[in-house]
Amino acid sequence: MKLHLSPNYVTMSYELTGKLIAKFDTVQRTATFKTREFVIEKSEDIGGRVITNYAKFQCVQDKTSLPDRFTLGDTVKVSFNIKGTKWEKNGQTNYITNLDAWRMETVNMQTQQTVDIPPPDYIPADVPLASDDLPF
């Protein structure tokens, strides 16, 4: 999580890595405002049980082309801000929360194997030493 400070307000930036499972068309909301949505699937193993969550993101204005270079099934990292809006209509108050994506990048999910290699002078404890192998 990153914290961005400006003279008027504080916003936080978040990141989520998961599989791109849906991309929707760009919607022209007004003559000067457009949005586009996409969905990321995130699965986690929690105590031996796999929990899958789905996060729907919104791109606005010049960011609506972000999902274009990705294919469904790609693993991506999404950088986003959380935006909340209060909306009143016919005496009813509603609150809307959006995950506003501002960057997407490919994540290389190749598994990396690490092998513990002992230092060159390592001698396992269960290997007997010959009398002429002693260092003194």
Q: Which domains does the chain have, with CATH numbers?
A: 2-126 (2.40.50.140)
Q: What is the pLDDT of residues 36-49, one digit of tens each?
A: 999 999 999 989 99
At 108 the pLDDT is 79
- What would the mean pLDDT of 13-18 be, rounded to a whole number? 94
Q: In percent, how much of the chain has pLDDT > 90?
A: 65
- pLDDT of 92 above 50: yes
Q: Report residue 126 CA to chain centroid gap.
A: 46
At 13 the pLDDT is 86
Q: Give the residue among 76, 82, 81 at the shortest CA–CA distance from 104.
A: 76
At 62 the pLDDT is 93
Q: How many CA atoms lie within 13 A of 56 on its CB side?
A: 8
- pLDDT of 7 above 80: no
- Compare 108 and 93 and report the one with higher pLDDT: 93
State the CB neighbour count (10 A cutoff) for residue 126.
Answer: 5
Gap between the Cα atoms of 130 and 133, Å rounded: 5
Average per-residue pLDDT in the chain? 80
Q: How confident is the model at residue 125 (pLDDT cuts 50, 70, 90)?
A: very low
E strands, the chain, are: 2-5, 10-23, 27-30, 33-46, 49-60, 75-89, 92-106
pTM flag (> 0.85): no
